[in-house]
Structure formats: C-alpha cells, structure tokens
Amino acid sequence: MSGTDGVFEEANGRGTTVVDAPPRSLADLAPGTAVVVIAVVDDGEPAVVRRLHDLGFTPGAVVEVVRRAPLREPVLYRVRDYEVCLRRAQAECVHVTEAER
C-alpha cells in the first residue's frame, strides 16, 4: 500500500505525524484506523463529491476502516453508523486527518 504522493510509504494506523504534508486520503489507511473527514475533493466529477456527501462522508464525519476485500479492493468503511465500501478511486477523494481519541 503505497501512498499516492510518496510521503506515506506505510500507513499502518499508528501513522507518523507529518506536518505540512499533502492531505492523506481514505485510500491510504490500513484496516482498524479511525479518521475524521476534512474535505471531499473533486476529481473532475462533481457528482462524485455530491454522492460521497450524501453517503455520509461530510467534513467532520468519523470514518473507520473496517476491512479490505480479499483481493484488496474495495475497502469497507464504517461511517455514520453504517458500513459502505468504496473503490480506491473514490476513497482517494476523501481527505482525512487522524481522529482525536
């Protein structure tokens, strides 16, 4: 699981604190990690952002990575009391930060 921009070589839930790093996305996380959504970014498809919002991925929402499918994709997330799976392309649109626990 390599990060999209080379900063996060191995994000395993403990995660190194990188200051001023590019925002990490849901796609960079290992199962068991809990994070908070900062923003959902447009990858040229505004409909994707709307849908992710409507699915509950809004800024401030707590997301937990539940598990990966046996073939690594899609990944199951828990958000707003229910479980939904996304492929990597969609997960990359959701920028997140470590949950304060």
Partner 1 sequence: MNAGCHDAGGADATLTEAPRIALVGAPNSGKTSVFNGLTGLRAKTGNYPGVTVSRFVGTARTGRHRHMVEDLPGTYSLEPISPDEQITVDVLDGRLEGADRPDALLVVVDATTLRRSLGFVAQVLARGLPTCVVVTFTDELARRQGRLGVDALAQALGVPVLPVVGHRGVGIAQLREQLTTWRTWQAPAVPPPTQPGERDAWADSVLAFAGYRPPERHRMTQHVDAVLLHPVWGTAVFFTVMVLFFQTVFTLAAPLQGWVESLGGWLSGQVDAHVGNPWLSGLLGDALIGGVGGVLVFVPQIVLLFLLLALLEGVGYMARAAFLMDRVMARFGLEGRAFVALLSSFACAIPGIMATRTLPSARDRLATMMAAPLMACSARLPVYVLLIGLLVDPSAGVGPFGAQGLVMFGLYLLGAVSAMPAAWVFKRLGDRHGQAMPFFMELPPYRLPAPRAVLVAMWSSARAFLRKCTTVIVATSVVLWLLLNLPLHTDAQLRAAGVDASDSVAVSAYSVDHSYAAGLGRLVAPVFDPLGFDWRINVGVLSAQGARETFVATLGQVAAAEDPDQPAQALASMTYSDGPRAGEVVFTAPTIAALLVYFVYALQCMATVAVLRRETGTWRWPTIAFTYLTVLAWLMAYLARTATVLLGG
Residue in 1, 85, 95, 98 binding partner 1, rule: CB under 8 A: 85
* Tokens 């999209």 belong to residue: 4
Strand partners, 83: 78
Rule CB under 8 A: say whether 76 interacts with partner 1: yes
Rule CB under 8 A: say whether 35 interacts with partner 1: no
C-alpha to C-alpha distances, 37 to 70, 71, 75, nearest whole angstrom: 25, 25, 16
Residue in 3, 74, 92, 95 binding partner 1, rule: CB under 8 A: 74
Query: In whole angstroms, what separates CA 82 from the centre of its chain?
Result: 15
Rule CB under 8 A: say whether 19 interacts with partner 1: no
Amino acid at 43: D
**Contact residues: partner 1, CB under 8 A:** 45, 47-48, 50-56, 58-61, 67, 69-74, 76, 79-87, 89-90
